[in-house]
Every structure is written in C-alpha cells, then in structure tokens.
Amino acid sequence: MLLSIIIPVYNVENYLLSCVESLLNKSNDIHQYEVILVDDGSTDKSGIICDELKSKYENIKVIHKSNGGLSSARNAGIKVAKGDWISFIDSDDMVVENYIEIILSLIKNYHLDIIMFRYLPFKKEKYLDDRLKKITFRNTSFKRISKKDAMDALFDGNYTNYSWNKIYRKNLFDKILFPVGKNFEDVITTCKLIDKANTFGKYKDILYFYRQRKGSILNSTDPSTKLLQIQDSIQARIIQLNFFNVHKYEYLNEVAKHWIMKDCMDYIFCLHKNALSKNAFYYKVVNILKNYSVSKKFDSRKQILKLKLYKVSPTIFFILIKLKNKFN
C-alpha cells in the first residue's frame, strides 16, 4: 500500500462528514491508500460518524481511544498505518476533490522523503467557491528542493510548520513521534522530520483548506486561553530554536528568534490589553525581549520601533497601548 491518511477526530460532528467526503473519490484505487480515523475520546457523535463511515467505505479504519490530544491521536494512527507514505488531515478541514489522486501521483513520480504543498485558510465553506473541485496534476508545479530549502520553508507562510500540508515517507517516524501533551506540536516535530529526511520537493498548487473556527486551539476568543496559547507557541519555538542549535542549523537562528520575538510581543499585548495578571512566564518573556537583538532582515520597521520603545520604557509603552485601545 502506498499511502496512509491519518485523520485525528475529536468532537467535530458538524465537520467530519464534509472532511472525509471531500477526500474520498470513487475513481481512486482503494488498494493504494487507506484512511485511518482516530476517535480521540469524542464526547459528541463523532465516534458514531466514524463507525458509519467505516461501514460505508471498505478502506477506512477506525481507532477509538481515550482522549490524549492531537499528538496522541496522530501517534496512534502512525502505529497502525500500512502505507509507505503518510499524510495527515485535521478533521474539520477539507481538501481538493482529487487530493488522493494528486498525492499518489507525487509519490509515484518522485519517490521523495517529504513533499510539501500549499494550503488556504477559510472560515466558511461557501467562501471556497470552486476551489474544492478537481485540479489538474502538473509536473510544472513541482520542484525538487534541498534540505536547506525545506528548513527555510518552515518560515514561509505558504508552507510553514504544519504537518497536514506535507507527505512523509513512513520510516521517518521510526524514532520520531509527536510530543503528547504539547500544543504547537508541529513546530517541535516537523523540523526533526526534515532533519532526518534526505530528499524533498514542493508542489505549488493549493491542495488543502484549513478551517479557522471559534473554539479551535488556535482561534480562542477567551483572553486567558489566548494568552496560554501564545505561551505554548513561545515554548514550542524555543524548543525548535534549541534543535537548530544542537543540529547545526545556525543559519536559522535569526529567523527563529524573530518568530519568538513576535510571539513575545503578542503575549505582552494580550496580557496588558486584557489586564491579566503577570506570572512567572511573563518575566521570562520580558527577559527574552530585553535580550533580543533587532533583525534588519526579518523585523519590520514597525516591529523595530515597538521593540525600541519597549526597551526604553515599558511603562510608556503600556500607556501608549492603553491609549491606542481606548481610541480604537
């Protein structure tokens, strides 16, 4: 079997059918791929929908497990996967109608360790218009890239750290799993997979549609939850930066630190805008910003101005934030 598609499922009864049915196409050879639905202890009807889909499509597998989070669900799928290559889809997202056909063509034509492709965020399905329809596989859309290019793509918004817009040779996961209990697990894991891999490619067409919905990990509107999410992102990016240093990717230090700085500034803004209490992590963020060296290559003029003002006087900086919020 060529391809295993792993879909973690948790309380997505309103989206799961759209996700899976955007994926499956009767014209595909069902002996070349499998779909693994990992019900991660859902408390709504998601688990029932998984079983219904399994009874409808013979190449769907279902795993029911206690809730362990996204990383745990992905790891459970990897453990039972039979394909030589693996791809991931989040259960509230969607893909182009002939996603599997294109992925199989990329695998058969190039036999690379990792291939990444572009994605498009959306909030409502009606905004996708005709984008979900079949697209033509084009060799001209594909480009072989180096390991350096693949690492650089982690900071390219068209590709970035996400696991679900990439195809991986399964043996890359022999000693690499997603970190259980961590948010922003892709930031921690994708760089490790690229480091282990040898051959890479980019496909420039959009194959994947990432749903931005309220209540998801990255789109909370609760200030305290949002602050914790930014904290998780900072911690994941620090782990990633340490990985670059240990594994001799020093050329990525400047851009990695730039993204840590951006998250730290977001943390400061979120905390003061919502009058949240300062904790130990706040002072860690303050120390990161205090020691940050401006990057003329990656920092915008606006970011540099904010950083300089913050370093000169945090008090004045926060007064200006309050004035800005008052008149917005």
Give the Cα separation of 317 and 314 in Å (integer): 5
The per-residue pLDDT for 128 is 79
Distance CA 89, CA 37 (A): 10
**Can you give the pLDDT at residue 29?**
81
Give the distance from CA 151 to its chain's centroid. Answer: 15
**Residue 160 to residue 42: CA distance in whole angstroms:** 29
* Residue 21: closest CA among 121, 125, 110: 125
Per DSSP, the residues of 71-91 read HHHHHHHHHH--SSEEEE--T
The residue whose two tokens read 């350096």 is 148
Q: What is the mean pLDDT of each run of 10 residues along the chain (328 residues)?
A: 96 95 78 96 98 95 97 98 98 94 96 97 79 89 98 97 98 96 95 98 96 66 91 97 97 98 94 90 95 95 91 83 68
Count Cβ atoms within 10 A of the Cβ of residue 45 and give its class: 0-12 exposed, 13-18 middle, 19 or more buried.
middle
192 CB neighbour count, 10 Å cutoff: 16
Q: Supply 152's token pair.
A: 């650089």
Domain 3-211 in CATH: superfamily? Spore Coat Polysaccharide Biosynthesis Protein SpsA; Chain A (3.90.550.10)
Find the helix packing angle between 99-110 and 16-23, rounded to 10°.
50
Structure confidence at residue 241 (pLDDT): 98
Q: Helix, strand or coil for residue 124?
A: coil
* C-alpha span between 188 and 32 (Å, rounded): 30
Round to whole Å and give the CA distance between 178 and 181.
9
Q: Locate the domains of the chain by residue range.
A: 3-211, 223-327
Q: Shortest CA distance to 121 belongs to which of 219, 7, 2?
A: 219
Question: What does the pLDDT read at residue 132?
Answer: 82
Q: If we measure between CA atoms, which residue out of 10, 41, 36 comes closest to residue 23?
A: 36
Q: Are strands 114-122 and 200-211 parallel, antiparallel or unpaired?
A: parallel
Partners of 88 in the β-ladder: 6
- How crowded is the C-beta side of 253, counted as CA atoms within 13 Å? 11
| Among 260, 270, 181, 262, residue whose Cα is nearest residue 221 | 270
